[in-house]
Amino acid sequence: MIKLIGLVPLFPLIGFLINGFFGKKMSKGLSGTIACVSVLASFIVSVLIFMEVSASAQKSYVVEIFSWINSDTLKIPFSFLVDPLSCLFLLNITGIGFLIHVYSTSYMHDDEGFSRFFTYLNLFVFFMLLLVLGSNYLIMFVGWEGVGLCSYLLIGFWFKNDAYNRAANKAFIMNRIGDLGFLLGMIMIFMNFGSISFGEVFNKASSVPTSSITAIALLLFVGAMGKSAQLPLYTWLPDAMAGPTPVSALIHAATMVTAGIYMVVRSNIFYSISETASEFVAVVGAVTALFAAIIGLLQTDIKKVLAYSTVSQLGLMFLALGVGAYSSAVFHVTTHAFFKALLFLGAGSVIHAMGGEQDIRKMGGLKKALPITFITMLLGTIAISGVPPFAGFFSKDEILAHTYEHSQLLWVVGSIASLCTAFYMFRLMFLTFWGSFRGTHEQQHHLHESPKAMTIPLIILAILSVLGGLLGLPEFWGAKNWMSENLDSVIIRKNPSILSHETEWTLMAIAVLVALSTIYFAYQMFIKYKVLPAEKEADMKPFQRVIYNKFYVDEFYDAIIRKPLDAISEVFYKLFDKQIFDGIVNGTGDLTLWKAGILRKLQTGHIGFYIMAMVVGVITILFFSLMK
């Protein structure tokens, strides 16, 4: 079965080609079915391969598809690496991806670009599968660039809106900054190892100077910072909300933003060797987690709240990677995929019922009109808030426990970020589903639960959000949790836990008490005292205005980067482009015309003149011949 691994990315590619070439000629039902079935087929094959790898004593297989680059100095086969890590990501990508595809058949049904949407969606899944399956950094990079392209196409899907186009451009350009780091890291890998295949590189890593390993690890992390939206390259992700809601779920849950996590885990030997790189990853992750969580506290766009939540949760994952808890990070990637996909699709159901409205200040009292959406979103909110026994509790607790072992300061930062998460998520729930309706009469009249194609994926994801924690029960409940044991063959070096059971129980109790206290505080604030967000910025306190405007980071980047670059570009355009380069090109043309204007005067049209010119020419040639 493992030899059939090529079918996993092939099915979405076929779906992309069929919809891309014939989508406009097909009915929407057929187009959506082809897109969904292609991802479902990949999921089924992924499950079968996962089962075979799990049952096998050999945990890693390299399947060569064809010979790709073959020179004296560089040999890169187009081959796939099948191991527990890639198999787990395959299940996340295809499983969650399939549910999002099914949801989209209803959500996008009335859109004129229906087949084009599924064309992009299938291509997105194909490139993401390529990213996690590649057995070398070049194939990973191809998938990496591919998901960047697809995110650009999907974020700017409604391209008639200029604001959406700007958001798509921003995502594309900011990702290019990170991609340059990845590319330079890949070049350094080849210079130091003579190869970019994972097997050869990782086997030789211990023989390379630590300084080189640190440089490689940091450059790769720059790529991860861009793709996984870490400070300072995070501002594209909240703006990515310009795309249709299913796109937000796909980008934020199981695909694009987790690519950086996957790359660091796959390259974990570099970070295990370089303490400097690991510390840097941990600090950036912790700061990002807290920074984004604080911004999420006062956002009023339902999708923007979830977007900053994603940035914050990704920060926690990188915090785990930085402290060496690689399996914990992957565990949180998995549980986060469940509840974040649920929350985004639930938000899409709310937006669908509200006729496109996304401002939670104009919602309220929706739990009666949208009972399934309400219950499923509530379960997802409890899960992301870290309340036991839901999935998010186990993965967050594991990350914070490992962080406490490494640094109590980072543990405090991570704990505060988790506290903020519980507050802004229940704030969103209370303002959206409780109280009285604050929208227009027309919106209230049209409130209705979403179709089954949208609610069934919500129910499945809600079940996974409740039970997903079983994948990684705390280690002191058994010899090892399943997630850690499953990834043993992939993670090169792990530090054994030094925390006593009493300390682990204490940390767990603190986390639960803090989460429950925060939820109770949010309940008192938004249900009992019915506090509503300010309608205008002028009504906010100064510190609230700063948080609401996201600490003015976009404005800061605009002032110190974009505007100076625009000014420099204008100078270069006027001086170099117009005066020098255009001057050389145009001057060459003008000189040619001037010479041609002189030479054409010799073309008089008189036969006698031509005969005389020939005679003079012959005499001149003879004269120079005799002079030699």
Most confident option among 256-270, 527-541, 595-609? 256-270
What does the alpha-carbon distance between residue 489 and residue 83 come to, in Å, rounded to a whole number?
8
514, 346 contact by CB (below 8 A): no
> How many Cα atoms within 13 Å fall on the side-chain side of residue 564?
6
Residues near 405 by beta carbon (within 8 Å), at least 6 away in sequence: 323, 495, 497, 498, 499
pLDDT of residue 541 exceeding 80, the answer is yes
Round the average pLDDT of the chain to a whole number and report it.
Answer: 91
CA dist., res. 219 & res. 321, Å (int): 16
Per-residue pLDDT reduced to its tens digit, 368-399:
999 999 999 999 999 999 998 899 999 999 99
Structure tokens at 497: 């836990």
Q: Tell me, what's the pLDDT at 474?
A: 57
Averaged pLDDT, 27-32: 94
Q: What is the model's pLDDT at position 79?
A: 94
How far, CA to CA in Å, does 447 sit from each of 367, 429, 439? 11, 17, 11
State residue 495's pLDDT score: 60
Alpha carbon distances (Å) from 148 to 36, 125, 141, 151, 211: 22, 12, 10, 5, 30
Across 580-591, average pLDDT: 89
Measured CA to CA, the distance from residue 621 to residue 197 in angstroms comes to 67
Across 603-620, average pLDDT: 83
Where does the pLDDT of residue 488 fall: very low under 50, low under 70, confident under 90, or very high at 90 and above? confident
The 10s digit of each residue's pLDDT in 175-187 is 999 999 999 999 9
Give residue 476's pLDDT band: very low, low, confident or very high (50, 70, 90): very low
Which of 144, 109, 148 minimizes the C-alpha distance to 130? Answer: 144
The pLDDT of residue 387 is 93
Average pLDDT for 406-413: 95
| In the predicted structure, residue 496 carries a pLDDT above the cut 70 | no
Confidence of residue 479 (pLDDT cuts 50, 70, 90): very low
Strands 61-70, 75-82: pairing is antiparallel
Q: Which residues 6+ apart lie within 8 Å of 85 measured at CB?
A: 262, 265, 266, 330, 487, 490
Among 464-468, 493-497, 517-521, the minimum mean pLDDT is found in 493-497
pLDDT at 468 over 80: yes
Residue spans per domain, the chain: 274-548, 555-627
Distance of CA 453 to the CA centre of its chain: 25
Helix (H, G, I), strand (E, B) or coil at 385: coil
Candidates 300, 348, 596, 556; CA nearest to 455 is 348
Position 473 scores a pLDDT of: 64
CA angle 19, 20, 26 (to 5 degrees): 40
First CA to last CA across the chain, in angstroms? 84
Residue type, 78: F
Question: Which range among 129-143, 433-447, 518-532 shows the weakest confidence by mean pLDDT?
Answer: 433-447
- Vertex 465, ends 462 and 467: CA angle to 5°? 110
Note the pLDDT of residue 30: 95
pLDDT value for 628 = 67
Cα–Cα distance between 43 and 26 in angstroms, integer? 25
Which of 331-335, 346-350, 402-406, 488-492 is predicted with the least confidence, judged by mean pLDDT?
A: 488-492
Of 92, 220, 243, 215, the closest CA to residue 159 belongs to: 243
pLDDT in tens, 149-181: 999 999 999 998 999 999 999 999 999 999 999
Predicted pLDDT of residue 497: 66
When mean pLDDT is compared across 49-63, 200-214, 489-503, 604-618, the lowest value belongs to 489-503
CA dist 493 and 274 (Å) reads 12
Res. 340 pLDDT band, cuts 50 70 90: very high
CA dihedral 344, 350, 351, 357 (to 10 degrees): -120
